[in-house]
Structure 1
Amino acid sequence: MSVFDDPGHFGRMWADRYDLPGNPDPTTAVEFLADLAGDGPALELAIGTGRVALPLAARGIAVAGVEASPEMVAKLHAKPGGSDIPVAIGDMADVPVTGTYRMAYLVFNTLFNLVRAERQADCFRNVARVLEPGGAFVIETFVPDPADFDRDEQVQMREVTEESATIRLHRYDREAQTFLRQTITFDGTGVQLHPFAMRYMWPDQIDEMAGGAGFRLAERYADWDRAPFGPDSTSHVSVYRLG
């Protein structure tokens, strides 16, 4: 069994460093989501340490979450207001919650962390199960650029200091639309491996998968500021509605 069949793998590997500088500022995402959520309730899949959920909840919106990593949830609940957000521990593809939500959202390319197409499709079907009629499912991902994976492997030097060296290697499977990334650090304690994988999709493929779960594309933008989406856009924020 691959480590990527374990939905909690990402959190265990990255929870201690997830809140370090480098993640996008959530302000515009929170504004966008608050407009759609109204009074809520809202459901965040892969809620992590609450980068988006906490400021959204601070707007007075009832927010719940799904997260496969107890380590991530511990970080969330240790933050001011974090213990007020209920989180179901489980695979986001299964959406292990009950109740009806006005909006669900899955941001920061995290749909692609489901590395098998059938699990991505499961995620859409299970979100549809817990949304109210006409409810919104918001997806944010990058738009794949074939130039990024025009070879089978890729090696990048990440950091070199007097105490350590870090390299990053990618292996691509263009037919499966997957890649495996291994970040390797060599230092005085030995060798540390941080594997990561994704199954990427183009927007029209996501639209087709969403349609199979009963969703229709209602809005699409290039970013959270609602910039128009076009052929040169490198990312998209898509709002799907039931029915």
Structure 2
Amino acid sequence: MHDEDGYFGENVAATYDESAADMFSPEAVEPAVGMLAELAGEGSALELGIGTGRIALPLAGRGVPVHGIDMSRAMVARLRAKPGGDAIGVTIGDFATTRVADTFTVAYLVFNTINNLTTQDAQVACFRNAAAHLKPGGCFVIEVGVPDLRRLPPGQTAVPFHISPTRWAFDTYDVATQAMSSNYVTIVDGHATYESIPFRYVWPAELDLMARLAGLRLRDRWEGWSRTPFTSESPRHISVWEKPAA
């Protein structure tokens, strides 16, 4: 893994699409692309954390011009190798602060990527960066899970989310700092390897305040891309904040 690629260097990029295969299924991709294409309208889209192009490629296939920002050259190389990938503009850099010389009708962050920013300051900066890239009336969209803290009894800090003979995976939470990590133990031929990726979890209300600091206002919030209602039992949310029209 190269330092400039953060936690998504060559060793992760090489198998990323396979390891996240469920998220590449038509059932996962098409509703997201449909909503983003609707929000983009006749304009263009900016993806923060474009990765290997899971959303950007089909969105571009719908006729929406897409530009991406991503720190990982290894992930972007996988995007470039896919059909149509060389036609999508990508700026290498931190999506919380990197600017591109254009404005867009929609900017979006999907699949919990806001949590890859591990400080509140960086998350606030990301909202400001997204807002600066939006045309008046444009929207910023985030897909992120709701912290699963209700599964933590007193004294426990870990929540398992996958257990099999060859892989154990669990999240850890620090409720004082909102630091969390996803941890993976993989067993091959009786030998175990361990990987840990840091995140910062964030509540919907906290995201709304970040949006207000950036001059955005909440327009919609759903549990999923099919616009199912968001409730106290929802494990994730799709939130749409709007920049005031000129």
TM-score, normalising length: structure 1:
0.89
Matched, 1:41 2:44: yes
Secondary structure of 1:22's partner? helix
Q: What is the root-mean-square deviation in Å for CA atoms of aligned residues?
A: 2.1
Matches of 1:180 and 1:212, distance apart in 2:
27
Aligned residues of 2:48 and 2:108 also touching (Cα < 8 A): yes
Residues 45 and 95, structure 1, Cα contact 8 Å, conserved in 2: no
- What are the residue-to-residue correspondences of 1:204-243 with 2, within 5 Å? 204-243=205-244
C-alpha distance in 2 between matches for 1:211 and 1:58: 33
Q: How far apart in 1 are the matches of 2:234 and 2:162?
A: 27
The TM-score, its normalising length taken from structure 2, stands at: 0.88
Change (3 A) 1:44 1:55: same
The answer for the alignment partner of 2:22 in structure 1 is 22
After TM superposition, the structure 1 = structure 2 runs for residues 174-189 of structure 1, keeping only pairs within 5 Å, are: 174-187=175-188
Q: Deviations over 1:148-185 (max 9, x none)?
A: 3441245677332xxxx433354321111121233133
Structure 2 residue 61 is the aligned partner of structure 1 residue 66: no
Correspondence for 1:10 among 7, 12, 20: 7
How far off is 1:26 after superposition?
0.5
1:56 corresponds to which residue?
59
One of 113, 118, 128 as aligned partner of 2:121: 118
Q: What residue is the counterpart of 2:84 in the other structure?
A: 81
User: Number of matched residues?
Assistant: 235
- Which runs of no fewer than 5 residues in structure 2 stay unpaired? none
Q: For residues 212-239 of structure 1, what are the alpha-carbon distances to aligned partners after superposition, in whole Å with 9 as ceiling and x for unaligned? A: 1111001111110111222222211111
Percent identity over the alignment? Answer: 42
Query: 1:198 is matched with which residue?
Result: 199
Please give the per-residue CA displacement for 1:51-81, whole angstroms capped at 9, x wherever unaligned.
1000000011100001110111010010000
Say whether residues 1:95 and 2:98 are aligned partners.
Answer: yes
Deviations 1:67-113 (A, max 9, x none): 11011101001000000001001111113312111110001111111
| Amino acid across the alignment from 2:78 | K
User: Gaps (5+ residues) in structure 1?
Assistant: none
> Structure 1 stretches (4+) deviating beyond 6 angstroms?
none
Kept in 1, the 8 Å contact 2:151–2:159? The answer is no
Looking at structure 1, the residues matched to 171 and 31 of structure 2 have their Cα atoms a distance apart, in angstroms, of 31
Compared with structure 1, are the counterparts of its residues 123 and 156 closer, same or farther at alpha carbon in structure 2 (3 Å cutoff)?
A: closer
